């Protein structure tokens, strides 16, 4: 488990943006069950999910999660994060609005205390001291444990820290930026990532799989359809596909899914605690979420949304301990060695002593197999995955990733 202040969280956060949208009630509960059984405990949602669906008003995702918590009696086993300020009826960070929204979220989530409460977006019309003061009071009253910032710029994040420090108010413990292998400047070039490391603020990035683009299921020249089409098109350049090609090559080398490679890379970036990943069906749960992502016969690498043949296991080692090499220097990471070791670690499932022994044997075998190709793969990957130019910079509408079936609220 990893830490966000006093919270102990799994290294993958399950995104709830699809609950009540591309995942119906039964599918949502099955996804939550699989995530919990696989060792995951960190769940992210927002009061605005899924207001963009015709006939929805917002809060549908929270209600499904709250119903699941009530049915399963699992509240003490999970860490719940939700967000405020983007609900179409209750928008903004005015303290009175925050209190109304907090009561609604707690009711829908069937909980007295929200573990992590994000400001979903900035509100320049409300003085920072006012809304940070409101979050501080919520913490003092036990309504929330911590608060965080989603979609805030570096300058505004710094300003929040400065104001909170000056006024003696609670500090934010987490931020949610958009961050992945083809969208890096928002964290890296802006300096936000370095600032978070310096201030010991956890990063919980969304769009970790670039709206599914990094799963390798989109081909060059293919017409993109569906709810995610608009976002996927922003990545579908030759530069973007060069990154995907390298992700797929490493995945095939190690017999894991491309999603495992992309998430492993993201999880090892400085300051990142738990990338957000959302799915529309239990079989799409990402590898660190308790699903064996070794390639299976009949798996469609490109052009198919489903990940066939996945096997849910009781607990995945990735949830139980940090991966080795987590403190190695950035130079080794950029040359590919660390990512290859990590993918071996999270892509091969071991259960119990026999499983762990098999995991080690397979890891040694694979490491030996790819040793001679480290430099070639590392150099190519390093070239393909440089921070993209302006064509990869885009505006985003929420704080959630859509691993296999959703786009957030757009």
C-alpha span between 306 and 280 (Å, rounded): 10
Crossing angle of the two packed helices 374-384 and 352-371, in degrees rounded to 10: 90
Q: Residues with catalytic annotation?
A: 49
Q: Are β-strands 202-203 and 114-119 bridged in parallel, bridged antiparallel, or unpaired?
A: unpaired
Can you say whether residue 352 is alpha, beta or left, with left for phi > 0 and alpha for psi between -120 and 50 degrees? left
Tell me whether residue 190 is exposed, middle or buried, using C-beta atoms within 10 angstroms of its C-beta: 0 to 12, 13 to 18, 19 or more.
middle
What's the token pair of residue 82? 């939700």
Instruction: Give me the DSSP letters along 31-55.
Output: HHHHHHHTT--EEE--TTTTTTSTT
List all residues 6 or more positions away from 327 whose beta carbon is below 8 Å from its beta carbon: none
Residue 35's alpha-carbon distances to 26, 189, 277, in angstroms, are 14, 33, 11
Coil/strand/helix, residue 114:
strand
Instruction: Give me the DSSP letters along 329-346.
Output: -HHHHHTTHHHHHHHHHH
- CB atoms near residue 345 (< 10 Å): 21
Ordered strands of the 114-119 beta sheet: 202-203, 174-176, 144-150, 114-119, 79-84, 42-44, 13-15, 276-277
Residue 79's nearest CA partner among 18, 185, 7 is 7
Give the Cα-Cα-Cα angle 19, 103, 403 (nearest 5 degrees): 20
C-alpha span between 321 and 362 (Å, rounded): 19
List all residues 6 or more positions away from 238 whose beta carbon is below 8 Å from its beta carbon: none
């Amino acid at each position: 488990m990893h830490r966000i202040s006093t919270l102990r969280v799994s290294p993958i956060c399950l995104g709830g943006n699809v609950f009540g949208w591309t995942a119906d009630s039964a599918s949502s509960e099955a996804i939550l069950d699989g995530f919990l059984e696989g060792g995951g405990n960190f769940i992210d949602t927002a009061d605005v999910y899924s207001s963009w669906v015709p006939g929805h008003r917002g809060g549908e995702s929270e209600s499904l999660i709250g119903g699941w918590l009530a049915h399963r009696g699992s509240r003490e086993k999970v860490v719940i994060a939700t967000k405020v300020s983007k609900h179409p009826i209750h928008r903004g960070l005015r303290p009175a609005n925050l209190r109304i929204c907090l009561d609604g979220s707690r009711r829908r989530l069937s909980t007295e205390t929200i573990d992590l409460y994000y400001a979903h977006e900035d509100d320049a019309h409300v003085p920072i001291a006012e809304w940070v003061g409101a979050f501080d009071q919520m913490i003092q009253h036990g309504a929330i444990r911590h608060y965080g910032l989603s979609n805030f710029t570096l300058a505004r994040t710094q300003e929040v820290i400065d104001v909170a420090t000056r006024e003696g108010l609670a500090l934010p413990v987490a931020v949610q930026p958009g961050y992945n292998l083809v969208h890096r400047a928002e964290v890296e070039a802006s300096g936000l990532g370095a600032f978070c490391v310096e201030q010991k603020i956890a990063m919980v990035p969304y769009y970790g799989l670039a709206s599914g683009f990094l799963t390798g299921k989109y081909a060059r020249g293919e017409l993109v359809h569906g709810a995610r089409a608009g976002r996927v098109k922003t990545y579908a350049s030759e530069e973007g596909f060069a990154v995907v090609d390298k992700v797929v090559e490493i995945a095939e080398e190690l017999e894991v899914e491309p999603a495992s490679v992309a998430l492993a890379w993201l999880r090892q970036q400085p300051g990142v605690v738990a990338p957000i990943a959302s799915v529309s069906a239990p079989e799409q749960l990402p590898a660190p979420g308790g699903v064996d992502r070794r390639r299976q016969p009949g798996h469609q690498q490109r052009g198919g949304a489903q990940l066939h043949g996945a096997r849910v296991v009781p607990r995945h080692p990735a949830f139980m301990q940090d991966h080795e090499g987590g403190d190695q220097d950035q130079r080794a990471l950029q040359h590919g060695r660390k990512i290859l070791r990590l993918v071996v670690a999270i892509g091969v499932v071991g259960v119990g002593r026999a499983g762990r022994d098999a995991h080690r044997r397979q890891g040694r075998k694979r490491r030996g197999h790819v040793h001679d190709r480290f430099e070639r793969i590392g150099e190519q990957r390093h070239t393909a995955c440089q921070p993209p130019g302006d064509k990869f910079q885009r505006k985003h509408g929420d704080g959630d990733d859509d691993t296999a079936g959703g786009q957030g609220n757009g």
